[in-house]
Amino acid sequence: MKKVVLLALVAVLAVSVSFANGQQDDGKVVIGANIYNFADNFMNAAMKPVLESYAVEKGAEIQVVDSENQQAKLNDQVDVFITKGVDVLAINLVDPAAASTIIGKAKAAGIPLVLFNKEATEAGAMASYDKVWYVGTDSAESGMIQGQMMVADWKSNPDWDKNGDGKVQYVMLKGEPGHPDAEARTKYSVEAFKDAGIGVEQLALEADPNWSTQHGNDKMAAWLTSSFADKIELVICNNDAMGFGAINAMKAAGVRLPIYSVDALDQALTHIADGELDGTVLNDGANQAKATIDLAINAAMGKDVTAGTGWTLQTDGSKAVRVPYVAVTPENYQDF
Ligand code: BGC
Ligand code: CA
């Protein structure tokens, strides 16, 4: 008997929760969102605060949950959002190769979905649902810009070629394997040297699913005590957070090697001002967050996703809004 009463109560609660959160209640669009890992510097500092404040500014309600770098956890969180009756999902995949699971859930529930920051890597995933879009960047562009900065500085600093062989002996902090940003930056930054007719030699490359400062510190510290320590001429970091760690390790070892990263977080600008970082690339998290919210609200209201916004969707089948990257150097960092 008690059990029956309890079950009835749970049912009533479930209905009232869905009404409290759903658009049917007060006309507000309710966005169910996540960050793949709150411990990620870029996501936490550059994207999360803007997702939250801009959603409110636009009259929507948003809930942002932490997926703690576990795709299984995100799958459950999406189920909960759907059960609660959110109007639209704004999802930062943990695993870029797991998009179809999330897209399948949104499609089955008939809820629009905006993926952001980690682009789906499975072929056909984006085409499998008419109400899924992506907001991010052109990953290759960050590598190209970083590469162009490094080539220009390499050319104007002949002493950087420590062994005088005309080639760049570099170490690379890659970030998350399989992440389109990590993969493209790894490729295009180095390709810029080859395009400029400058040879390259990779001394070491380390990947890290967390893109973290700790990893950058540990790997750089190890490289600086390795057999090739004296050969290193350039440190390429695929994000700022790992670069911060590498800078710490160099300071601890009393070494200052040319070093470049991507993101342009506030701390990176400070490192540039202090002469500890040679360049970074603005990864415009604030505008990516705004585009995510704009598209989500429009989608929830059944409008054309870019209606009334300044965003443009790619026409190449990626269904993506791509926010441009910008080079940040010791000459222009004060503008950021
Ligand atoms: C950023 C990294 C971040 C990653 C998370 C990238 O675009 O540059 O700093 O860790 O996104 O997915
Ligand atoms: Ca050399």
126, 260, 137, 250: which is closest to 192 by C-alpha?
260
Mean of pLDDT values over 3-12: 45
Cα–Cα distance measured from residue 184 to residue 178, given in angstroms and rounded to the nearest whole number? 10
Residue 176: both structure tokens together: 């998350």
| Secondary structure (3-state) at 173 | strand
Ligand 1 atom nearest residue 238's Cα: 8
What digits encode the pLDDT tens for the residues 271-324?
Answer: 999 999 999 999 999 999 999 999 999 999 999 999 999 999 999 989 999 999
Query: Which of the listed residues 35, 36, 42, 121 should we mutate to test ligand 1's pocket, taking the one with most ligand atoms within 8 A of CB?
Result: 42
Atom 3 of ligand 1, residue of closest alpha carbon: 42
Residue pLDDT, tens place only, 30-77: 999 999 999 999 999 999 999 999 999 999 999 999 999 999 999 999
| Amino acid identity for residue 217 in this structure | N
Q: Angle at Cα 315 formed by Cα 89 and Cα 100, nearest 5°?
A: 40
Lookup result for tokens 């936490």: 44
Q: Is 294 in the pocket of ligand 1 (CB under 6 A)?
A: no
**Inter-residue contact 300 to 87 (CB < 8 Å):** yes
pLDDT of residue 255: 98
Which residue intervals of the chain bear CATH 3.40.50.2300? 2-137+284-323, 140-283
Q: Which CATH class is domain 140-283?
A: alpha beta
Tell me the ligand closest to 162's alpha carbon. Answer: 2
- Rounded Cα distance between 146 and 184, Å, is 11
Q: How many helices (H) and strands (E) does the chain have?
A: 12, 12
Q: What is the mean pLDDT of residues 178-187?
A: 98
Ligand 1, closest atom to CA 142?
A: 8
Digit-coded pLDDT (tens) for 261-270: 999 999 999 9
Model pTM above 0.85: yes
Question: Tokens standing for 308?
Answer: 């009334």
Class of domain 2-137+284-323: alpha beta
pLDDT of residue 25: 57
For 150, which DSSP code?
H
Helix (H) or strand (E) holding 148: helix 139-156
Closest of 269, 287, 284 to residue 329, by C-alpha:
269
The pLDDT value recorded for residue 43 is 98
